[in-house]
Amino acid sequence: MFQKVPPMLLRFTPLFALLLLTGCEIPGLIPNPATVQKEAEAKAIGSACRHALRGLEDCYILNPKAPKASVFAGWKDMDGYMRDNKIDGTPSVLGKAEKAAKPPTEEIIQPSRGATSERRS
């Protein structure tokens, strides 16, 4: 009724299926490069915030589009690294640069419109 399958064919069936699947892109198997890059940038942002002695909440506020979990992971990794190697952070100059960028205000006194200083000779 049924034909007997040769044992050699049974051995090579998984290998044949594996060869067929190697050309396929299975969704979720390989992460999206854009997502990986975004997470790496967020980790770098968190590390930079910790090194600049910024609080985690300030880092979130300054970078609203960065994934918070990755920012926290970067901040935490840098915190551990700085504690292990006894590295002091560098204070941020972000607030100081904004104040220094403003030119000093000088009060200019202009004559009022009602009073004219015309000379008549």
Which one-letter DSSP state was computed for residue 105? P
How does pLDDT run across 63-101, given as a tens digit for each residue? 999 999 999 999 999 999 999 999 888 887 766 545 545
- Record the pTM: 0.56
Residues 6 or more apart whose CB falls under 8 angstroms from that of 87 comprise 81
User: Which has the higher per-residue pLDDT, 116 or 88?
Assistant: 88
| Widest CA span in the chain | 133
| CA count, 13 A, side-chain hemisphere, 19 | 5
Comparing CA positions, the residue from 102, 54, 108 lying closest to residue 78 is: 54
Comparing CA positions, the residue from 87, 78, 9 lying closest to residue 45 is: 78
User: Which has the higher per-residue pLDDT, 28 or 61?
Assistant: 61
